[in-house]
Amino acid sequence: MKIRTINYCIRQGIKSLFQNRLMTLASIGTISACLFILGISYCIAANVDYMMEDLEASIGMTVFLDEELTEVERNALQRKIADHIDIETVIYVSPEEAWARFKDELEDGGEELLIGLDEDNPLAGSASFEILLKNPDNQGEVIVFLEKLAGIRTINHAKDTADVLLTFNQMVRIISLILIAILALIGILLMTNTIKLTVYIRKNEINIMKYVGATDYFIRIPFLIEGILIGMLGAILPLGVIWFSYQWMIEKIYEEFSIIKNLLTFLGAKEIFIVLAPLSLLIGAGIGMIGSGISVRKHLNV
């Protein structure tokens, strides 16, 4: 296609935006509303996914060792466990360290429970390995592997917790995808109506173009450009609103509920928008282009 032809199609697409001002504004407004809901949903889903990954990373297991295990045997066992493909780290916790941790946890209000125990470590037989996994989804396979090893007395794990977190995370992702599909369908239907009206208004002009030999492709392009522009314009407004409201909301949450700051970490606005901005623009442009294409094909006999 020649540069002159491309310029003509772009000008016609832009011109159509102003010929149907009310329908254009209605389409932009509806697409903005759809993409705003989509943006909010993405912010929630991305943060839930981030928090779940953080929680999953902290889910590990504790392996208690046989009391008669020698230091040489313990070191060999630690190396063997660490070599497993699904295991990230293996940390040895001595009985003395386990007792020190326990006393630290009882510092506030539980000191009376420790009276008379300083001379005799009640956790003398609690030598253990703390294991963190690369992927909590594979916890079952790791448990089977550990159960076959000699020198291990007990395995404490949180497989049920890991399964619940995985199920919840998958559910959030599925709901997000369904919501995206519904909002995209609404946008496409509205876009179809907008382009249908434009086709009707320009019916005489299109008939003349066909009469003088204009190709189907040449006639369709301006409508597709119009749809893409409406979709992208509809994406810009909600992106701006979400950018400022997201930052304000996170600051407000940390300010009003300071305890949450120590428990949960939210994604920063830049981390959110590095994905959300191009995603919204692409979805907006896609909705506009698909809606225009459907309308032109159904309502133009070209």
Q: Answer yes or no: are the C-beta atoms of 242 and 43 closer than 8 Å.
A: yes
**pLDDT tens digits along 191-224:** 677 666 766 766 776 677 777 777 777 777 888 8
pLDDT (tens digit, 0 to 9) for every residue of the chain, 302 residues total? Answer: 567 767 777 777 777 777 777 777 877 888 888 888 888 888 888 888 887 777 766 667 888 888 888 888 888 888 998 888 888 888 888 877 766 766 665 555 445 555 555 555 545 567 888 888 877 777 788 888 888 888 888 887 766 666 676 777 778 778 877 877 887 777 777 767 766 676 676 677 667 777 777 777 777 788 888 888 888 998 999 999 999 898 888 888 877 776 666 667 788 888 999 999 999 999 888 888 887 777 777 656 54
Vertex 174: Cα angle to 171 and 178 (nearest 5): 140
Q: Which domains does the chain have, with CATH numbers?
A: 3-55+163-299 (no CATH), 60-157 (3.30.70.3040)
**pLDDT tens digits along 236-263:** 999 999 998 988 888 888 777 766 666 6
Put residue 267 in one of left, alpha, beta given phi > 0 → left and psi -120 to 50 → alpha. Answer: beta
CA 234, chain centre distance (Å): 22
User: pTM surpassing 0.75?
Assistant: no
Phi, psi for 233 (deg, rounded to 5): -65, -35
CA distance 212 to 26: 34
**Side chain identity at residue 134, one-letter code:** K
Pairing of strands 152-157, 128-133: unpaired
**Side chain identity at residue 254, one-letter code:** Y
Handedness of CA 200, 202, 208, 214 (dihedral sign): negative
Q: Answer yes or no: are the C-beta atoms of 198 and 291 closer than 8 Å.
A: no
CA distance 14 to 9: 9
